[in-house]
A and B are shown apart, each in its own frame.
Chain A
Amino acid sequence: MNVVPPPQTVGELKAKDYASDQEVRWCPGCGDYAILKAVQKTCADLALEPEKTVFVSGIGCAARFPYYMSTYGFHTIHGRAPAVATGVKLANPELDVWVIGGDGDMLSIGGNHLLHALRRNVDLKILLFNNEIYGLTKGQYSPTSRIGTRSPSTPGGSLDAPVSATLYALGAGARFVARGVDTQQKQLPEVLKRAHGHKGASFVEVFQNCIVYNDGAFDHFTARDVAEEMQIFVEHGRPLVFGKNRDKGLRVTPGKLALEVVELGAEGPEAAGVLRHDETDQMLATLLAGLQPPLPVAIGVLYCNPGPSYEHQVVGDRPVEPVRGDIDALLRRGHTWTVA
């Protein structure tokens, strides 16, 4: 049966209450399992009503996601999930709509739809699972693959420069842009909760390990031994501090519009000129999104600056109801005449 009984009452909810009865068909060890768990935990923590929750996806490994949720789910066609989800939201703004896709789905074939869902600010939670590779078609390079990626379609190494998902989202006018890592089961649900709480389009890039075709692509900042030195988890109002001993921070490079790492002295971050994170500052978000090794990779809510959501402006917050319009009056608008 493809129908799941309603979960327990609020307060007793567990991640597994949001799992469907379908057998998960990702490769063993795939980062998608961890993200699924984080999303299910988020749903449980927020006590989301399954009947009002819809997961919409396109095509690709990530796009199988809706089958594994006990909510409503729509597995659509390649790249088009943001467009389908926009239609869902226009018809019924009360629904809690999540969009799931990979880097190929959302930035290659569906890049256009992502752009427009973000700039319109449709109230969607858009999760992009970035593994920098095409998985379901067996390992070709993707739009986020780094230059030189060897793949079945690029045996000599890829030539095209990768796109940054978060910089793309910011450029598109997204009002909520965040990052997470598949295996970070503490931070990721917190980021997802923030995304859920944001009215409008929330964009979350999740670094996801593809164990078969691109294993270890993010090890240089996600591996246990380097994570604390190579990541900075940003929090609104807090100093941009990182490192195993919390002894480093980010400050503006004197004389340049760029960020640089500074060692904190005994006087603490402020004395060292370390910035406080202001998630409403799009320029700061852009600088953080652009950080690349050897600088730390920014994780967390990079940007959050709410504005009116599209469907709210179009139809309000209630499902669109048929209006008992006077069809006879409609047909008689304008010039009419009588033939006796």
Chain B
Amino acid sequence: MEGSSVLTPPRQELESAVVRFAGDSGDGMQLTGSQFTLATALAGNDLATFPDFPAEIRAPVGTTYGVSAFQINFGARTIRTAGDALDVLVAMNPAALKVNRADVKPGALIIVDSGAFNAKNFAKAHYEADPLADGSLDAYRVLKVDMSSATEKAVEGHGLSKKEALRCKNMWALGLIYWMFGRDRQPTVDWLETKFGKTPELANANIAALNAGHAYGETAELPTGVRTYSVPAAKLPAGLYRNVTGTEALAWGLVAGCELAGLPMTFCSYPITPASQLLHSLAALKSYGVTTFQAEDEIAAACAAIGASYAGSLGVTSSSGPGIALKTEALGLAISVELPLVVVNSQRGGPSTGLPTKTEQSDLFQAVWGRNGDAPLAVLASRSPHDCFEVAIEAVRLATKYMTPVILLTDGYLANAAEPWRIPSFADYAPFPVSFREDPEGFQPFLRDPETLARVWARPGTPGLMHRIGGIEKDYDSGNISYDPANHQRMTDTRADKIAGIARDIPAQTVEQGSEGGRLAVVGWGSTYGPISRAVANLRNAGQDVSHVHLRHIWPLPVNLGELLAGYDKVLVPEMNHGQLVKLLRAEFLLPAQGLSKVSGKPFKIVELETAIRAALEG
């Protein structure tokens, strides 16, 4: 062949594809992934992403524990998870290959930067021999490209040092993947120009690398089996869409909830992985009535939020498991003085420091029961990134209506994962305005609404309502300190009844997929929604009698849940913990539910759930 007459085969159409970018934690894999996500969303695919990064900020270069990855599953159909196995792995060094190879489908494509495959990096990744040469990748299609040299060449003339030039390598790889999947480069070009607005030489160099990677795909003679694909747009309901991470949706949901309640928000937090992003997101929303406070510790964050609620704002605090543990005593205070408070827990692997950047659902017991004394509060869980918006609004509604702390459970996966979201219209949400007590006539601080049992909210600054509250038990009728035995029984009962009564104010539990009653219900909560949903759909398509029930309200549980679950022969409860919701359901409903536990720091794979469901149906 001559000149530019390289034969371009037609794009192969795929229903969906899973791509993972993996490299050193300093290689910019998260940025690369989020740019590919944006381009993919703009191309009309449904998608789900899974950023997976180490706790170390810049682990030693080339080591396996420094590998950072970003996975995206995108398709022409509805996408429920970030995908079980990879169609394409981009490995920027031997360590990234080593850590991620096991997730690649046999026969799938592995793209490596051969420029980083050298003796030094083999040693760091503990490879005894060159994995590209020892036959260990024979089951895959492998594209070896010296991205390092290609990038250096592409950015020549932009005045970058060698180190700076190599930092553009991720854009080169992104360019190649854009070519492979026919993505528009312009949004990334725009993003680079904005990001490096003050250093145009860096913007131009990165754009040059992006274009070079793309051009390489177009012009190079590639090995057999390396080709281009098209993934047609998904048939999504009509509307205006955006990509959203769980953290963004949560931040906006809290703001929206406060707007519906007619309250300013005082968000008090202490940095902790993976919850800090929420503080960052809200810190930028001062114009929406949000005050953010980075406290000196977790306890102060919870206490300042309680102080803010006491003064008539909505106090919100946020953390992950270890931080929630520290806030525990303060939560008891908020329960005792009956003030609204929203507590967000972005769960991570535990116990103790555990796995800071890995996802888990092991704080359900902590949320529902983890306090001294009989200390009931409401617990909610969001199921997907965009669902965080709805659940945050519900948390604000319940906290203000019932004068109670509400714990909102998300997890490390939801916090970081992104998906397309059909943007709702705010006018569709019914306001739930808070009314503060202002009338001194007959006032005492623990006067209750006869229906909700919520006490009045009397802000300091209100004439005639001066009163004292505290963590000591209070007299039911006067609110004064009381050590009276019968009164403590009555107050304890009342606090429990108040929270239990929320069950009357939440939707009845519905069945996501399948029938009401049948052979098997798979009951999930939180971020297992995606994989359970897909696994149940697959098995139902295969003719199996299985249904999916997914809980948003963890405490109190929906009033009809016991009856609903009793209609199935079996109940299977998959959880990313050692069996927490399953015990709660067994305790509440004397139900012979079975658990399915996964605590590897990674979400369930669809195939793992399918296997467990089949076993349950056969057993």
Contact = CB atoms under 8 A, between A and B. Distances in A.
Contact of A2 (B311, B333, B444): B444
Contact of B466 (A51, A315, A332): A51
B216 interface: no
Contacts of B460: 51-54, 72, 88, 92, 95
B426 A328 contact: yes
Contacts of A51: 460-466
Given A70-B466, A336-B242, A319 B255 contact: no
B237 A3 contact: no
Contact of A331 (B313, B423, B478): B423
State the main secondary structure of chain A at its contact with B. Answer: mixed
B463 A85 contact: no
A66 B468 contact: yes
A84 B306 contact: yes
Interface string A1-36: 111111000000000000010100000000000000
B131 interface: no
A335 B310 contact: no
A274 B268 CA distance: 49
A2 to B, nearest CB: 5
A321 B310 contact: no
Contacts of B330: 77, 80
A92 B443 CA distance: 22
Given A3-B444, A80-B300, A325-B287, A339 B239 contact: yes
A143 interface: no
Nearest to A328: B426
B426 A322 contact: no
Contacts of B461: 51-52, 92, 94-95, 319
A86 interface: yes
A115 interface: yes
B289 interface: yes
B471 interface: yes
Interface in B303-321: 303-313, 315
Interface string B460-482: 11111111111110000011110
B127 to A, nearest CB: 40
A77 B266 contact: no
Contacts of A70: 466
Nearest to B478: A2
Contacts of A137: none
A51 B464 CA distance: 7
B255 A327 contact: yes
Query: In the complex, which range does the number of interface residues on chain A fall in?
Result: 35 or more
A212 B38 CA distance: 70
Nearest to B42: A337
* Residue of A52, A74, A324, A332 most packed against chain B (CB within 10 A): A74
A112 B301 CA distance: 13
Contacts of B258: 322
A69 B426 CA distance: 45
Nearest to B389: A331
A193 interface: no
Interface of A: 1-6, 20, 22, 50-54, 56, 66-67, 69-77, 80, 83-92, 94-95, 112-113, 115-116, 314-315, 319-325, 327-328, 330-332, 334-340
Given A91-B307, A330-B255, 4 more contacts: A3-B440, A5-B464, A51-B464, A321-B289
Interface of B: 38, 41-42, 44, 187, 233, 236-243, 252, 255-256, 258-259, 262-264, 266, 268, 285, 287-289, 291, 293, 295-297, 299-301, 303-313, 315, 329-330, 332-333, 337, 422-427, 440, 443-445, 459-472, 478-481
17 contacts: A3-B467, A4-B466, A70-B466, A74-B310, A77-B471, A80-B299, A80-B303, A83-B299, A90-B266, A90-B307, A95-B461, A113-B300, A116-B300, A320-B264, A324-B259, A336-B241, A340-B238
